[in-house]
Amino acid sequence: MSIHPHLAADTDAEDIVHVTLPRRVVRQDRQGVPVIYWGAEVLRFDEPALAPLADAISAGLPFSPMRSCPLAPADRLADAVGALTGLGILGDRAETPAPRSFTAPDLPATLLHLDWRDPAAVGGALLSSPIAPAHLELVVPVFRIAHLATDADGRQVGEANVFPRALRRNVETDWQTCTYAGTRHRDDKPMNLTALKAMRAHWPEMMATLAAIRDRYMTRAALAGPMTLGQIERLCIAVLSLPTWHSFKDAPLHPVLSSLFRVTDGLRIVVHQMMFVGVAEPMLPPDAVISAAELFDYAERSLSFHSDSGVCAGPEHFIREFLSVLVDGAAPRFGANGTIGADVAAAMTELDVAMDYGFTALAAHAACFAVWPEMAEAWAEIVALAEGWPSGLSSGVDAFRLEAAEAGRRLIHASYLGQADWREMRRRTYAEIEGAAVALSRQPAPRLAVADRVVPTTDDLTRALAGLPDAARLQAVLARFAASAGAHLSRAAALQARISDMFQRPPAAGFTLADMTLHARLVDDPHPRLQFLPEVLFRLCGLELDIKTFPAGDTAFAGSEIDVSSINQRGDEPRYQ
């Protein structure tokens, strides 16, 4: 049994013990091994003699560990019971605390009323520099743009999880202890009762709207039958695109659309975790077929119902119905009598153009964020180079060597890009997302933007880092990174130009590699991140590594158009002709 014996408490295996919170127990068998999920704790009962403990705990009734596990060695059973008691799972009684209201969690709040209709104002308030409207979807992923919008109930679409967090507005909210079964049961973080009430009030119309959007997406994508992770992500974007499209207008969003955004974005996050986060479980490719039931089980065991601000307020039967309607195409049960009202029907008349926007923006996001695994790959190569440099070559080389060592630590401990296979998986996933989204956007293939690359030469590096032993090899790493990143940003900028045309946004200076940092600054995560390679080169060496994009055919700037197929030798990136 994979538990921690050092947590042993004063509970004897002969005693009758209680499961303290039976409704918090989640039992799932993984590869034939019973696993208990209890809040953030994961307990694998991989010793056959102790496996009956999982049965007893999941039953939720008082039991005798010794009678339940007659074949278990006495010392192992005592250690297991002690550890389970130390974790608070077993005790001398079952706790039945009454639901209690919470005071508002200590969350960031502002009096500013800003949203992405005015990116310059948001950038000025948070970054001290405006964000160009013509760059918006490269800075803010399309699935986060509606967060700041306000609905007709006066609530932000992103609620307590709004992005950017610094622009969350403090509106009156009822918070309550979660009483639902599962890992969120009686969690220390509360659930948003106000958002739940809004969702309950509009659930039938939400399900009718969801089914209608799904039908439109399935027709556009020419799909039928079981769905893959990539297809589900794009279906989520189809749903999210409708409120996002309308968030650019002056009228507040209908609560049906804001509530539908919240629950759909929750699923999108789960799908993203499955494709991009390979810590607890292996990452899955976008073409992996998945069912509604499998998605729910994954969400439960991966703590997807938990966030920094609280736990999901949706009842399990609502979540399962949402998944069955969206993923499996089932008819609603609890929302069976729902019809689409006049206001939502009016919004639905723009669904096709909203999906055009949403898929183009998703493709732009994938092309842009594909730069990050390339930067991680460059850092991995630099770390390997620097490990062979002796100390004392020069103060500059020593400083760079220490920075590379820190990058190596952060690759492993502060990113999901520390392993070569993880980086390759992310490259391929971004490529699949981008190519499929472009195909669904109904937009002509974009003409690649010009990417002007500024890369230090070998002589530049030798002058900046006296005594550098591997200047040519380091320059080759930087050149490879600039080439691959330039290919990604040229496609991203071309797709962003399509979006700017849709909204008739004013032109702006080209998007640059340095602009990639704007999103991280908006996230404002206090934890250490992998260093931005161009910033390190400039800070330590005074050298510039940058990529500047300009519209194709613009003769005012130096540079050459990038042939994607000639740069990417992996052959897995979309090719735009």
| pLDDT number for residue 99 | 66
**Over 70: is that where the pLDDT of 92 sits?**
yes
Domain boundaries in the chain? Answer: 18-91, 146-340, 356-566
Q: What is the pLDDT of residues 508-551, one digit of tens each?
A: 989 999 999 999 999 988 888 899 999 999 999 999 999 999 87
The overall average pLDDT reported for the chain is: 91
- Residue 397 and residue 391: Cα distance in Å, rounded? 8
DSSP state string for 174-221: -EE---SSSTTTT-SS-EEHHHHHHHHHHHHHHHHHHHHHHHHHHHHH
pLDDT-derived band of residue 67, with 50, 70 and 90 as boundaries?
very high
**Over 60: is that where the pLDDT of 64 sits?**
yes
| pLDDT number for residue 565 | 33
Average pLDDT over residues 103-131: 91
**Over 70: is that where the pLDDT of 137 sits?**
yes
**Over 80: is that where the pLDDT of 97 sits?**
no
Q: Are 25 and 57 in contact (CB under 8 A)?
A: yes
| pLDDT number for residue 568 | 34
474 CB contacts (<8 Å, ≥6 apart)? 382, 385, 461, 468
Average pLDDT over residues 216-244: 97
- Residue 485 and residue 474: Cα distance in Å, rounded? 16
- Residue 77 and residue 120: Cα distance in Å, rounded? 62
**What token pair was written down for 433?**
């997302």
Q: Which of 4-13, 277-286, 354-363 has the lowest mean pLDDT?
A: 4-13
**Over 90: is that where the pLDDT of 420 sits?**
yes
- Residue 371 and residue 566: Cα distance in Å, rounded? 17
Average pLDDT over residues 485-496: 96
Distances (CA, A) of 53 to 35, 66, 78, 94, 539: 10, 10, 12, 17, 57
DSSP code for 144: G
| pLDDT number for residue 106 | 76
Q: What is the CA radius of gyration of the chain?
A: 26
| pLDDT number for residue 295 | 98
- Residue 449 and residue 496: Cα distance in Å, rounded? 10
Q: Are 527 and 494 in contact (CB under 8 A)?
A: no
Distances (CA, A) of 348 to 85, 109, 112, 209, 445: 54, 33, 30, 9, 26
Orientation of helix 255-276 relative to helix 420-440, angle to 10°:
140
pLDDT-derived band of residue 444, with 50, 70 and 90 as boundaries?
confident
Distances (CA, A) of 60 to 24, 45, 345: 10, 16, 47
pLDDT-derived band of residue 569, with 50, 70 and 90 as boundaries?
very low
pLDDT-derived band of residue 388, with 50, 70 and 90 as boundaries?
very high
Average pLDDT over residues 284-305: 96
Task: Please report how many Cα atoms fall inside a 13 Å half-sphere around the Cα of residue 341, on the Cβ side.
Answer: 11
| pLDDT number for residue 538 | 97
Q: What is the pLDDT of residues 317-360, one digit of tens each?
A: 999 999 999 999 999 987 677 899 999 999 999 999 999 999 99
Top mean pLDDT of 152-161, 441-450, 550-559 is at: 152-161
Residue 38 backbone zone (phi > 0: left; psi -120 to 50: alpha; other: beta) = beta
Task: Please report how many Cα atoms fall inside a 13 Å half-sphere around the Cα of residue 254, on the Cβ side.
Answer: 21
Q: What is the pLDDT of residues 165-222, one digit of tens each?
A: 999 998 999 999 999 999 999 999 999 999 999 999 999 999 999 999 999 999 999 9
Structure pTM? 0.91
177 CB contacts (<8 Å, ≥6 apart)? 97, 99, 100, 101, 102, 186, 187, 190, 191
| pLDDT number for residue 69 | 96
DSSP code for 87: T
- Residue 212 and residue 204: Cα distance in Å, rounded? 13
Average pLDDT over residues 2-9: 45
Residue 418's closest CA among 266, 278, 561? 278
pLDDT-derived band of residue 448, with 50, 70 and 90 as boundaries?
confident
| pLDDT number for residue 9 | 46
Percent of the chain exceeding pLDDT 90 equals 82
333 CB contacts (<8 Å, ≥6 apart)? 321
